[in-house]
Every structure is written in structure tokens, then in C-alpha cells.
Amino acid sequence: MDQKKTWSSSLLFIMACVGSAVGLGNLWKFPYIAYENGGGAFVLVYLLCIVVMGLPILLAELIIGREARSNAFEAVSKLSGGKHFWKLLSFLCLFSPFILLSFYSVIAGWSLDYFYNAITGNLTHLTFETTGPHFGAFVSNPTKQISYHTIIMLLTAGVIMKGVKGIEKAIEVLMPFFGIIILTLSVITLSKYGAGKTLNFLFEFDFSKLTTKGILEALGHAFFTLSIGLGAMIIYGAYFPKEHSIIRAGIWITVLDTLVAFCACIMIYPIIFGTGMEVKESASILFTTLSVELHHLPGGQYVCALFYLLVAFAALSSTLSLLELVTSYVEDRFKLSRLKGTMLSTFIIWLFGICSALSNGGNEFFTSLKVMDRLDYILSNWSLPIGAFLISLFCGWVLSEEIKSRELGLKRDDPRYIIFNFLIRYAAPALMMVIFVSQLVN
């Protein structure tokens, strides 16, 4: 692999991976599923899933990527010696990012619109009654939906076109700003509301509130939030120089991703508690109630704009790894230049994404098919878990001990290596089987 295709430093690599992991899942999904599931006990299960399953699979992806040094699709066939069974995993490393990016880009576009309208003062008139209908009218406006989806795809393509160096440049701008904005917003909400209620809610372990459904959601979200199960860490790992530590990187990515999810709760919960919202509303709260409530803070209009900028940055740093996955495959498979590879993959994903963009009222046919909801369902409940399951089996049972210990930089009798091997061989696949069986039963 040539020099152009490696990260210039371990720090940039970690920042890029954190960028991929931190996204709408942290800012949107985590606060509301933790809320729906009653807080404390759910959070504990979630943290357990992150440690037992998330981190080992994340490390497994990095190992596979760095060992194979090729696009995710080929990495699997290369290391499996071309065995047919593993073609399924190769396929998922192409299919899942394709599907995810097609609708993630639409949602990312919403944050751009809200940012623009907040900063120009066009959201100041919204009230708790009118914010829902405003959002409804926006998502069912076909022109706006397609335009924002196009902008996000073009921005992402502009970066990916320049390869790893392009990603590095973008990450160097996006991540520090992301850090500053999230800290600023947390301080603003903390100084107005304090953290007491939020912390009580997150760390009060009342197990009577925990349901089987909640446990499954915690499991599912653990790998959604870390961006595992579709090869994102395989492709980023492929560009990671041999001399840096995979374990250290993996731990940083996991810790920072989790911290951001908690910060999101600190920003959002006081608002939920303050307005006594219905649980059902919480899924769309990010673009409805929250936009009104943010205007009540000091400097409201700008705080609100800053918040949607934060969401946009989080989403954009995630779309990068998704497009990189597809582009690196297209580039290698059809022997295209980086520019042509990027153009082709962007165009196909953009085109398919239009079905999602128009599925929230923009077009009768796509709306009746519920394209966006269905794709999200297929992805979160099936293709990501199956991908993660196969990756853990692949790393646990197909990769040799020699490869794993070399990549991790640990001797085979090192307790850390033994724990990793146990988790990736037995614990992670077993937990995953639990998800599948209960999914089928339900």
C-alpha cells in the first residue's frame, strides 16, 4: 500500500475513527432509547455490551483491516482464502454502508436546514404546538429533501475524492470544532439546569424497569454506535501504519464515543424533564421540541444554530467512512481512478437515497413503502448484527493466533490476549445469537 494511503499519525487515525463512530446514534438515538428504557439499569447493560462485545469486535475489524490492507470486501476474501461462506461477510461490507449512507445522508441534510434556519432567525416563531407540523411540512417537501441530500453527498464526495489525505484534512477541522461545540453546549445547559436529575436518571440502577426488549436494544445500539458490523473499521484499519497500537486506538475510540453519548444526555435530558414530554415523541425530539426549547436558553437562536451545526458535523464525519467503504471497493474492482470511483459510487448512492428522501411524505409511492423506516429496520436489526456476528467468528476462528497476537502486539499467553480471544470466540457470538433468536421469536 502506498504512502498516500496511510494515516499520517495515530492521533489522526483515532480522530477519524471517533468521527465515524460519533454520529446521529450518539446525539439522537442513545438519549431517547436510554430514556424509553428507564435510564440507569439500561445504561449499565449498554456499557456492559460495549465492553464485552463492542470493543472486541472493533479490535477485530481493525486487525482484519490492517492485516489485509485492502478494501473491506477484498480483505475478507483474501484472509479467508476465498472460501465461499465468507462471501456473505464481504457482501455485507458493501451492502450495509450503501444502504446506511443512502438514508443517513437525508437525515444529515435535516440538520443543515435547521442550522441555516436557526441562524437566520427563521425558527424563532416556533412553539411546542407548531414545531411538529413545521417538521412534518419540511420532511414532506420533495425539493428541500432532495436538495439537502444532494449537498451532503457532494460534501462527502469532495472529501473522499482526495482519499485518506482528504479525510485527514476534513477531520482536522470537523473534530476540534465538534469538541468545542459539545463542551460549550453542555456548559450552557448545565449552568441553566444543573446535572443532578440527569445523573440520577442515568446512574440510578432500578432493574425493575429493565425489559428484554431493553436489553436487546442495548445490544443493538452498542455496535451501531461504534460503527461496527459493516467494515468501517476494516477500511480505516487498512490505512493504519503497523507501528501503532491497535489496542490503544480501540480503547480511545470506545471511551470517546461513550463520553459523547453521555454529553448528549446532559444536553437533552433537562429539556425532556422540563417539558414533561411523552415518551413516544422522543424519537423526533431532536428536530421538534428541542429546537423550541433551545431558543429559551440565553442567546437561544445561536445556541440552537450551534446545536444543529454539531449534529451536522457528527453526521458528516460518519458519512466519510461510509462513502470511503464503497468507493475503495469500486475503485479497486473496476480499476478506476479515485476521482471516477468516487463519482460513480456517489452517484449510485445518491440516486438510491432519493427513495428515502421522498419517503416521509414527499412522494406517495415511497411514503407508502416507508422506505426510510424499512431500510433502517433491515440495517439495525439484521445486516449490522449479522455482519458483527460474522466478524467475530471470522476473527475468532479463521484468523490464526499468530496474526492476532502480532496485530495486537501481545504475546499469546498475555492475559489481555487470552481475554480478547475468549470474548471474540465465545462471548460476542453467543450474545449475538441471543439477539437473533429473540428477533425471530418476536
Q: Does residue 65 touch ligand TRP according to CB under 6 A?
A: no
Q: Does residue 345 touch ligand TRP according to CB under 6 A?
A: no
Closest Cα partner for 297 from 257, 273, 267, 261? Answer: 267
CA neighbours closer than 13 Å in the CB half-sphere of residue 178: 28
Beta carbon nearer to ligand TRP, 387 or 429: 387
Using the CB atoms, write b or e for 350-383: b if 16+ within 10 Å: bebbbbbbbbbbbbeebeeeebbeebbeebbeeb
Scanning 18-26, 83-91, 199-207, 210-218 for contacts with ligand TRP by CB under 6 A, the matching segment is 18-26
Site map 166..195 versus ligand TRP, x via CB under 6 A: ------------------------------
Site map 285..324 versus ligand TRP, x via CB under 6 A: ---------------------------------x--xx--
Beta carbon nearer to ligand TRP, 193 or 217: 217
Per DSSP, helices labelled H in 81-162 are 87-119, 131-139, 142-160
Min dist CB 167 to ligand TRP, Å, is 12
Cβ(325)–Cβ(97) under 8 Å?
A: yes
Q: Which of residues 201-230 bind ligand TRP (CB under 6 A)?
A: 224-225, 227, 230
Beta carbon nearer to ligand TRP, 96 or 289: 96
Identify the H or E element spanning 343: helix 338-357
Q: Which residues contact 203 (CB under 8 A, 6 or more apart)?
A: 40, 43
Q: Which residues contact 337 (CB under 8 A, 6 or more apart)?
A: 331
Q: What backbone torsions phi and psi does residue 243 show, to the nearest 5 degrees?
A: -75, -10
14, 16, 24, 216: which one contacts ligand TRP (CB under 6 A)?
24
Site map 319..338 versus ligand TRP, x via CB under 6 A: --xx----------------
Q: Does residue 107 touch ligand TRP according to CB under 6 A?
A: no
| Cell numbers representing residue 359 in the block | 419517503
Closest Cα partner for 403 from 60, 5, 7, 57? Answer: 60
Q: What is the DSSP letter of 242?
A: T
Number of residues in contact with ligand TRP under rule CB under 6 A:
14
Min dist CB 10 to ligand TRP, Å, is 20
Min dist CB 348 to ligand TRP, Å, is 18
15, 21, 167, 267: which one contacts ligand TRP (CB under 6 A)?
21
Contacts to ligand TRP by CB under 6 A? 20-21, 23-26, 224-225, 227, 230, 232, 318, 321-322
